[in-house]
Structure 1
Amino acid sequence: MKLIQRLFDSPFWALVRKEINQIIRNKQLMILLIVPPTIQLLLYGFILNPDVHNLRLGVIDYANISASRELVSAMTSNQIFTLESVPSSEKELSREVEEGKLDVGVIIPPDFPRQLAKNSAEIQVFIDAVNANTAGIASNYMNQIIQQYNLRITPGKTSPPISSNVVFLYNPGLTSSWFFVPGVMGLVLTLISTLVSAVTVVREKDTGTIEQLLMTPAANWEILLSKIVPLAFLLMGDVLLAITIATVIFHVPFRGNFILFLALSSMYVFVGISLGIMLATISSSQQQVVLTSFFINLPMVQTSGAIAPIEAMPPVFQVLSLLNPLRHYIAIVRGILLKGVGLDVLWMNVLALVAFAVVLLTISVNKFRSQLS
């Protein structure tokens, strides 16, 4: 109780109350936090539908004969599929699809030669259908490749010797919005968190109240933290608004752990706020900070996989996208919502997000402290 009472009596709590009162009185800020995210989620969720290339393929060839190897070669010769993995078991193939390492998995059965001799062979094809558009394209191309292969090995015959049994994982209905809406959630959270936090700090400069803050009996970290905490709570409201729209309007499934989703979303909120504060410390006016945020946010969005799949980018940009925190957050959101995976699968993305949060928060704190000094 004494600790709580000491907190309420501290300069930090007084600064937090000041920030909350300013936010409540700022009607434009409240509109910015609610209206644009809602419109963007609805708009992008209904209209986005891009193409993809270079789908990652994993093959288990139990038959291991010349005909099966020729079939695999036919799958990879058109550059739509790239052979990334040759797992030793179906369990390993399923795990690689679940972890996002593969887009398509093919299993050629051990009795493939006998089936081929009877003119009725069947292979199993697993497609990660989190991205419905990618899954549809992969299915169509796979069927075309098999049909062309059938014509080549049995010219003139009407009944094809090989057929494929395609199974769509995670998104059996191939609903495009299930892929795009989680990406747009990360996009909107990035734009709103960086812009709102940057404008909030720059406003202190424009109005001259930053000099008043210097005269308060509070440490520099208390001044900065008093700005971060209220914004973080408000932006978590945006997260809840986005997930409500995703599940209620677009019927995006929520297969993972809700607490884990909130915890990792709050971590990304701190990344966005830290980036916004850093932008505010290098900008002298609200106009300048808005223009600077667009210069930073647009490349983040384009290389994140929110709109265009990362596999469709040039190899250089695929590597550079690893330095984009939004890419890791979108992978986390899609993994939790659509695949229901946890930290055992997403740990690399989580570690990257933690690293970005620590680095950006440290930089923004140091730059803000230098400005106060």
Structure 2
Amino acid sequence: MKFILRLFDNLFWTLVIKGLNQLRRNKQFIVILTIPPTLQLILYGFALNPDIRNLKLGVVDYAQVQESRELLAAMTSNNIFILESILTSEKNLSRQVEEGALDIGIIIPPDFSRKLATKSATIQVFIDGVNANTAGIANNYINQMVQAYNNRLASTQISSPVLLQFVFLYNPGLTSSWFFLPGVMGLVLTLIATLASAVLVVREKDIGTLEQLLMTPSANWEILLSKMLPLGILLSGDVLLALTLARLVFGVPFRGNFFLFFALSGLYLLVGISLGILLGTISRSQQQVVLMSFFINVPIIQTSGAIAPVEAMPPFFQILSLFNPLRHYITIVRGILLKGVGLDVLWIHVLALIGFLLVFLLIGIRRFRNQLI
């Protein structure tokens, strides 16, 4: 018992307790660390979704036969295409696509049933191509649905020598939010950790308490850690908040070890805080901190794989992303949440985060005593 009391009875822990008390009294700061991450997680979780749904479909059905109605039923059997209007002329259909009232327009010829019975029938499809990504996905959906319709119409089929059976691992339903939410968690933690820690350092300069800290007999690393630990404890609540929202709102599974996830999230928080402190030692005002944070965080987010897969990037940027701590953390989060893997798989990414932490701390310690010059 005496050993424990002696361990915590020193100047370093006094500085840590002082930092905790400062954060506890700053109610506005606590609100900033709670409300924006919640809104960002919910907003990005719903907004960053590549799945296309509710495309407005317009139809000119000159045939008016059972086969054409079955084709339209097949195309509107899910939420991809919504039958918005049934028109009587190609001119009206073309105008509505042009005005943006429709995304897809289909014209079924009057001899549709007869041509199906003889050989093949051609239907005309108009797609609004202003959004090239949406147009390409809609084109693929239409091809798949028409192919499924053709298979049902075929009276005889030749058995294929090779049959394919697909099994999707870790995400059987191909739910997009399961891919995006881990990335959004890392994105939000990066923004909050770097900006909050940098603002705290600059605020210490503004109110004059930083000079008092620099006059204490504490070592540079003790002063830095006394700033990092209280903020890391506070930000760990954001980790739990993000995980809770991911599970309850978006149904993201948790297949790994909770304590490993929480420990590695804490490690990444220290990386983000140390980067923020480094930015704070470079900046001379809170406005400069915001600009520097924007300059640093945007490339970090864009090359991390949080929004777009790393595999979709050019080879140069794939290599460059290896020097991005957020990429390693997102890989860790997706591995633990979706795959349930452990340190035997993730150790290389853990070592990368430790390396980033040491580099940021060493640079920050060297600059800390000289930042007022």
Q: Is the 8 A contact 1:214 1:372 kept in 2?
A: no
Q: Give how far 1:160 is off.
A: 5.8
**Secondary structure at the counterpart of residue 165 of structure 2:** strand
- Match of 2:342? 342
Matched, 1:213 2:213: yes
| Stretches of structure 2 lacking an aligned partner (at least 5 in a row) | 52-136, 148-155
Q: Is the 8 A contact 2:214 2:369 kept in 1?
A: no
Give the counterpart letter for 1:31 in structure 2: V
- Match of 2:37? 37
- Match of 2:306? 306
Runs (4+) of structure 1 exceeding 6 A deviation are none
| Stretches of structure 1 lacking an aligned partner (at least 5 in a row) | 52-136, 148-156
Q: Is the 8 A contact 1:220 1:372 kept in 2?
A: no
**Secondary structure at the counterpart of residue 31 of structure 2:** helix
Equivalenced residue count is: 276
Q: Distance in 1 between matches of 2:40 and 2:326?
A: 17
Of 209-218 and 302-311, the range deviating more from structure 2? 209-218
Identity %: 71
Matched, 1:159 2:145: no
Q: Give how far 1:348 is off.
A: 1.9
Q: Distance in 1 between matches of 2:211 and 2:195?
A: 22
In the TM superposition, 1:1-373 aligns within 5 A as 1-50=1-50, 158-159=157-158, 161=160, 162-371=162-371
Give the counterpart letter for 2:260 in structure 1: L
Give the counterpart letter for 1:42 in structure 2: I
TM value normalised by structure 1: 0.69
Change (3 A) 1:215 1:354: closer
Change (3 A) 1:214 1:297: same
Q: Give how far 1:219 is off.
A: 2.9
Residue deviations 1:67-112 (CA, integer Å, cap 9, x gap): xxxxxxxxxxxxxxxxxxxxxxxxxxxxxxxxxxxxxxxxxxxxxx
Residue deviations 1:172-225 (CA, integer Å, cap 9, x gap): 122111111111000011001101111111111111111122333433322221
Q: CA RMSD in A?
A: 2.4
Q: Give how far 1:287 is off.
A: 0.9
Q: Distance in 1 between matches of 2:175 and 2:362?
A: 41
**Secondary structure at the counterpart of residue 49 of structure 2:** coil
Give the counterpart letter for 1:323 in structure 2: F
Of 262-271 and 157-166, the range deviating more from structure 2? 157-166
Residue deviations 1:104-150 (CA, integer Å, cap 9, x gap): xxxxxxxxxxxxxxxxxxxxxxxxxxxxxxxxx8xx79x97xx9xxx
Q: Give how far 1:275 is off.
A: 0.4
Q: Is the 8 A contact 2:193 2:276 kept in 1?
A: yes
**Secondary structure at the counterpart of residue 253 of structure 1:** coil
Change (3 A) 1:369 1:7: farther
